[in-house]
Amino acid sequence: MEIRLGLVILIFYLLLCLGFYLFIRKKFAFPAYYIIFICGLPLIGLLLIGITAATRQAASGRIDIDSDEDDIKQEGPSDRELIPNDEKDSKNLISLEEALLLKNSDLARDILLDIIGENPEEFLDLFYLARLNEDAEVVHYATTVIAELSRQYDLKMAQMEKAHAKEPNNLEILAEYCNLMDAYIKNAFVTGQMAHSLRTDLISLLEKKIRLKESLVDYANLVEHLLSVQNYDRAQTYIDYMMQSWPENENPWLLQLQLFLGLQQGDEAVALAQKMKEKNIYISAENREIVDFWQVA
């Protein structure tokens, strides 16, 4: 559409130039080749823009290559482990966090502008942190991004709510709706009573999804939300079922430990951790620290 419009404007311009030349030629004796300069003016502008863009692209390419080489030279073994070369997002994440902690507003603004155009949802925690910054511009950028992400989630939530209402037993729609609502809550787009109400709705949807098709992941997610609203009795019922159905999986054991901690039952937590050790329950690396703590308590 834009190309067609541009061609129409160009043709109109050329016709206008030709008509103007014929009109002027009656009063003044201009050579015919003068019209080439008039008609070629837009093309000269496009040519200059193309040359400028190519020059800047080449310059930016050299800068990126040089900066990458400098990064490789300066990185030690620990730096390579901390910031993998093939993970640009992780590099931005660490750089932004350091800039915010060091209160380097200029650097924070530059990094914020870089990651806003990539995938800002991956850096949402840091946008919340940036919103507490002393620099007004950093706060503005962070607040704007959070508000825009929240708006997009609101629109998607409304669409999924309508889709689920039309097909309440469609498992695919229900799964997408649950995942969206779970992300909406965990990203803290709503807080307080609104979050509690939305979490209650999600619990009902997860229970419905489990009735249609059982899944360990759904049970674990359901129990986590029940613990968040401090509904310990219902959470215990589902944990008991998970223990029977998946006795060697770490999820029911970790959820049981979380329930004991929520009820401030330290002795039961210690006994459970010891039992996990006796039964050789495999614990993933991210959860091993808390289990080891209660095993030696």
* pLDDT, tens digit, 9 for 90 and up, residues 157-203: 999 999 999 999 999 999 999 999 999 999 888 888 999 999 999 99
Average of pLDDT values for 242-270?
Answer: 95
The pLDDT assigned to 37 comes to: 60
Instruction: Give the domains, in start order, of the chain with CATH numbers.
Output: 1-23+33-57 (no CATH), 170-295 (1.25.40.10)
CA distances from 222 to 30, 126, 167, 247, 284 (A): 84, 27, 22, 18, 20
Stretch among 30-34, 181-185, 237-241 having the lowest mean pLDDT: 30-34
* pLDDT, tens digit, 9 for 90 and up, residues 116-131: 667 777 778 777 877 8
Long-range own/partner contacts, residues 127-135 (CB < 8 A, 24 or more apart): 128/188, 129/97, 129/100, 130/96, 130/100, 133/100, 133/103, 133/105, 133/108, 134/103, 134/105, 135/105, 135/108, 135/109
Which residues, in sequence order, are CB contacts of 94 under 8 Å at separation 6+?
82, 83
The pLDDT assigned to 120 comes to: 75
Stretch among 22-26, 68-72, 166-170, 251-255 having the lowest mean pLDDT: 68-72
The pLDDT assigned to 237 comes to: 97
Which residues, in sequence order, are CB contacts of 242 under 8 Å at separation 6+?
216, 219, 220, 223, 249, 251, 252, 255
The pLDDT assigned to 30 comes to: 59
The pLDDT assigned to 65 comes to: 34
* Short-list 166, 120, 165, CA closest to 141: 120
pTM, 2 dp:
0.61
Cα 271 to chain centroid distance, Å, stands at 39
Alpha-carbon distance of 138 to 134, in angstroms, equals: 8
pLDDT band, residue 235 (cuts 50/70/90): very high
The pLDDT assigned to 101 comes to: 53
Bin 192: left if φ > 0, else alpha if -120 < ψ < 50, else beta. left
Alpha-carbon distance of 116 to 60, in angstroms, equals: 19
* Short-list 115, 104, 118, 113, CA closest to 140: 113
pLDDT band, residue 136 (cuts 50/70/90): confident
Residue 49 confidence (pLDDT) above 90: no
